[in-house]
Amino acid sequence: MNEQDRINAIISYFFLGPLFLLAKSGTPLSMSYVKGHAKNASKIISFFILGVIIYFFVKPLVNFSIPGVGIHIHTLILASIVALCLFFLMRGAYNAYR
């Protein structure tokens, strides 16, 4: 893999993966290595969006706090969704460069 393909694959993990899937053939963004990582990034982003949508439906059901700590359960759920998304995006970007 040349350096430019690896960099393009990394960029797809910065919420640009779905746009990279629309690249015309013959461009650097249409290389199979970049497209593979763009598909992976798009899946992660899709799961994140689906998780946030589900969160907004579940939020009224878990609107209570942990006694003594003062942290709401729905805040922990949202933080977990965001942390997992960022973890998988960073891991994918690292694997794309490696």
Q: Per-domain residue ranges for the chain?
A: 3-97
What is the token pair recorded at 27? Answer: 């461009």
User: What is the per-residue pLDDT for 36?
Assistant: 87
Q: How many of the other CB atoms lie within 10 Å of CB of 35?
A: 18
Structure tokens at 83: 């942390």
Which has more confidence, 88 or 98? 88
| pTM for the structure as a whole | 0.84
In terms of pLDDT, which residue wins out, 34 or 48? 48
Q: DSSP alpha helices (H): ranges in the chain?
A: 3-11, 17-20, 32-58, 73-97
